[in-house]
Amino acid sequence: MTATTSTDLTGPHWTPQDLLGGWTLRDFLFSNDYRIIAVKGILTALVMLALAGLFALTFRAELTVPDIQFFGARVYMGLMTVHGMLMVFGFVIPMVISVCYYLMPVVLKTERLHWAGAAQASYWTLILGALLLIVGRPDFTWTFYAPMSLRVGGDLVWMGYLAIVLVGVSEFLAGAVLLRNVLAWKNGWGSMPLLGWGMFSEALLLLLSTPMLALVGAILLTDWAGLTGIYDPAQGGSTTTFLWMFWFYGHPAVYLPLVPAIAIVYTLLPRFLGRPMWSRASGIIAFLLLAVLSFIVFHHHFQPSVTTHSWVQRAFQILTLAIFIPSTLHVFNWIATLWYDRIPASAHAAIPFRFTIGAIFFLILGGVTGFLNAQISVDTDFIHNTYWIPAHFHAMFLGFCAQMAVAGTYYLYPYFTGRMVNRALANTHFWLWQLGIFAKVMLMYALGYAYFPRWVVDYLPLPEWTGAQMGVTMAGAAIGLGFLIFAANLAISARWGAAAPEDPWARSDREPTMTAATAAPAE
């Protein structure tokens, strides 16, 4: 359990050790060791990914060609709902946060995860929520628009609402843990690593937005039971109230996986390149701007629904467009960091670094379209609720956030197993994912531009729809195959992988360059 900590952000974080083999199941489930909490979170998120991915491939099979082949709308929407919820709440957010749980005690020099009990509570609450979701099998989509969500689903639909409340509670607890650990940084805000700033923004997002999600879930529960009528127009409620309350959570929510993923990039790039980020200040500003703006742009999720052309709508439009600036600052910073000095050959070869590059690629691919989505005039054309939107968020969630979670997992792997993953398998995984995600995202953009509607089990056999749908299914299969290789690699290498060297990510063939964390490139 010795951890080598380094003041140098570019240095190794730990010594590789076979921790996993030494943990008992009892330890693994209930110990408050930060590494155990993080590894448990990662492995659980991977099970959720397997589950949600299998559901995706199942309903994708139905969409391959027009007409109903395997099942109807009820099964389809159940799969779609649970796919969306498990991917967002069960896989991508917990996984990036778990990777950060692992990194924080070393990077922020707290040596342990403060409030580990809250992290445990967060984990188990989420497990309960996921189980409720799978047993309840609601079919109200992950945005559960009232009053539709109050009328579908059958007798067990209350489990879905309760799961929403539990997700809110779980995320709130995670936010509290992150904030506590960021505040444990002793050396002042001025020198806090960018991971700390990322976790600080993430904690703000979690703490301020998730109570609203829990509240929305609770109101859905009472509305459904007939005790209140807040969202149901037939009981004197208002759908507008629902939209504003839900999306007040919903927009920060889509940044919940994004911000930790960005923080992981800021941690891995210096580690693999052996030099500090090009600009620390721009990273901090971008994190804070992103956190603040994320709370005041949510209206763009339902902008075609508003009948007025008030200044409020205009304000939301320009704020949404303004989000473009901090997110581009991050990417700019990364590219500038890559560019200002040689990239060691070891970095090009390292699997986590490759995934980081792939993730940045997809952040650009998914991010630029946000510029179109924000404009009301274009949004009301081919964007709102066509496949354009899933294309946009699959590029972001899967292409960027999930790939950074995977990069983090590959990076941490030698540190908790003492072994290296199989490179050939990992590279196969890498290329299957890059090609699969790229094909999937681009075809979904094309479908969106052709007005393919979201949430449909069947579609008209229009020529511009059928070929692309077939392609998306095949791309999905490639992503699924990549995941199977990834999971197998993790399992096999834990036992048979090559033993990790002292520094598994040691840099080689690099020219002497500045390595001090505080040194910044001069103008």
Partner 1 sequence: MQQALGLMGDQAIMIGITFAMGIAGIAGLFMALFWPRRWRLPYRVEIGFIVVLAGIVIYADRNSAQTFQAYEAGLETQQALSGQVAAGQEGAAFDRRIAVYAFQWGFLFFDEDGAASRNAVKVAPGAKVLFSIAANDVIHGFNIPAARMTTELEPGRVQSIWIQAPQAPGKYLIQCLNYCGLGHTQMKAWLVVGDDAPPAAQEHG
Partner 2 sequence: MIMRFWLLAGILLVALAWVLMVPLSPPSYQASPRSTVADYRASGVIPQVGEATISDAVGHDVFEIPETDAAHAAEETAAGAMPDMPGMAGDADAPMAEPGTGDGGHGADAGVAGTMPEAPGMADMPGMDTMPESGGADAPMAEPGTNDAGMADMPGMATMPESGGATESEGDHGGSQAGIRVLDGMMAGMAGRTVEIEMREWSFSPPGITVATGEVVRLTVRNAGNVPHEFMIMPPQGMAAVAYRLERADWNLTEHEAIFERQMVMPGDSFEVVIQADRPGNWMYMCMFPFHMQFGMMGSLVTEGTAPMEGMKM
Of the candidates 147, 408, 471, 476, which one interacts with partner 2 according to CB under 8 A? 147
Q: How far apart are the first and last CA of the chain?
A: 42
Angle (deg, nearest 10), helices 73-85 and 157-183: 10
Of the candidates 131, 154, 342, 516, which one interacts with partner 1 according to CB under 8 A? 342
**Which window, 201-209, 257-265, 322-330, 423-431, contacts partner 1 (CB under 8 A)?**
322-330
**Which window, 47-55, 101-109, 173-181, 432-440, contacts partner 2 (CB under 8 A)?**
47-55
Cis? peptide before 252, omega within 30° of 0 = no
Return all residues near 431 (Cβ < 8 A) that are at least 6 apart.
Answer: none
Of the candidates 3, 65, 73, 207, which one interacts with partner 2 according to CB under 8 A? 73
Does 26 contact partner 1 by CB under 8 A?
Answer: no
Instruction: Return the structure tokens found at 304.
Output: 């075609």
Instruction: Return the structure tokens found at 172.
Output: 């709130």
State which of positions 58-87 bind partner 1 (CB under 8 A).
73-74, 77
What would the x/- binding string for partner 1 be over residues 157 to 196, using CB under 8 A?
----------------------------------------
Q: How many CB atoms lie within 10 A of CB 521?
A: 15
Of the candidates 131, 464, 484, 488, which one interacts with partner 1 according to CB under 8 A? 464
186 binds, among partner 2, partner 1, none (CB under 5 to 8 A by kind): none
Q: Please report how many Cα atoms fall inside a 13 Å half-sphere around the Cα of residue 363, on the Cβ side.
A: 28
* Rounded Cα gap, residues 242 and 248, in angstroms: 10
135 binds, among partner 1, partner 2, none (CB under 5 to 8 A by kind): partner 2
Strand partners, 386: 453
Does 109 contact partner 2 by CB under 8 A?
Answer: no
Strand partners, 499: 419
Does 45 contact partner 2 by CB under 8 A?
Answer: no
What minimum distance in Å lies between the beta carbon of 381 and partner 1? 5
What minimum distance in Å lies between the beta carbon of 52 and partner 2? 10
Does 484 contact partner 2 by CB under 8 A?
Answer: no
The answer to whether the beta carbons of residues 95 and 57 sit under 8 Å apart is no
**Which window, 120-128, 237-245, 291-299, 404-412, contacts partner 1 (CB under 8 A)?**
237-245
Of the candidates 18, 459, 474, 477, which one interacts with partner 1 according to CB under 8 A? 459
What minimum distance in Å lies between the beta carbon of 282 and partner 1? 6
Does 523 contact partner 1 by CB under 8 A?
Answer: yes
* Rounded Cα gap, residues 118 and 327, in angstroms: 30
The answer to whether the beta carbons of residues 97 and 34 sit under 8 Å apart is no
Strand partners, 419: 499
Does 54 contact partner 1 by CB under 8 A?
Answer: no
Position 39, amino acid: V
Position 314, amino acid: R
Q: Which of 235, 179, 183 is nearest to 207 (CA)?
A: 179
SS3 labels along 299-320 = HHHHHHHCCCCCHHHHHHHHHH
Strand partners, 453: 386
Does 145 contact partner 2 by CB under 8 A?
Answer: no
Question: What is the distance of C-alpha 328 from the center of its chain?
Answer: 18
DSSP-derived 3-state class of residue 129: helix
Does 385 contact partner 2 by CB under 8 A?
Answer: no
What would the x/- binding string for partner 1 be over residues 272 to 291, using CB under 8 A?
------xx--x---------
Distances (CA, A) of 270 to 1, 192, 265, 353, 514: 25, 15, 9, 11, 11
Of the candidates 126, 152, 365, 402, which one interacts with partner 2 according to CB under 8 A? 152
Of the candidates 179, 490, 500, 517, which one interacts with partner 2 according to CB under 8 A? 490
Distances (CA, A) of 498 to 39, 419, 420: 20, 5, 5
23 binds, among partner 2, partner 1, none (CB under 5 to 8 A by kind): partner 2
**Which window, 203-211, 229-237, 273-281, 363-371, contacts partner 2 (CB under 8 A)?**
229-237
What minimum distance in Å lies between the beta carbon of 477 and partner 1? 23
The answer to whether the beta carbons of residues 457 and 73 sit under 8 Å apart is yes
What minimum distance in Å lies between the beta carbon of 316 and partner 1? 11
Backbone φ and ψ for 496, nearest 5 degrees, come out as -110, 0
134 binds, among partner 2, partner 1, none (CB under 5 to 8 A by kind): partner 2
Q: Which is nearer to partner 1, 302 or 397 (CB)?
A: 302
Does 459 contact partner 2 by CB under 8 A?
Answer: yes
Backbone φ and ψ for 197, nearest 5 degrees, come out as -65, -40
Does 487 contact partner 1 by CB under 8 A?
Answer: no
What would the x/- binding string for partner 1 be over residues 291 to 320, using CB under 8 A?
-----------x-xx-x-x----x--xx--
Of the candidates 3, 121, 148, 254, which one interacts with partner 1 according to CB under 8 A? 148
State which of positions 8-37 bind partner 2 (CB under 8 A).
20-21, 23-25, 28
Q: Which of 339, 331, 214, 208 is nearest to 261 (CA)?
A: 331
Does 467 contact partner 2 by CB under 8 A?
Answer: no
Does 449 contact partner 2 by CB under 8 A?
Answer: no
Contacts 24+ apart (CB under 8 A), 502-505: 502/12, 502/15, 502/16, 503/12, 504/16, 504/414, 504/415, 504/420, 505/12, 505/271, 505/272, 505/346, 505/350, 505/352, 505/411
| Residues of this chain that bind partner 2 (CB under 8 A) | 20-21, 23-25, 28, 43, 46-47, 50-51, 54-55, 58, 66-68, 71-75, 78-79, 82, 134-135, 137, 147, 150-154, 156, 232-235, 456-460, 487, 490-491, 494-495
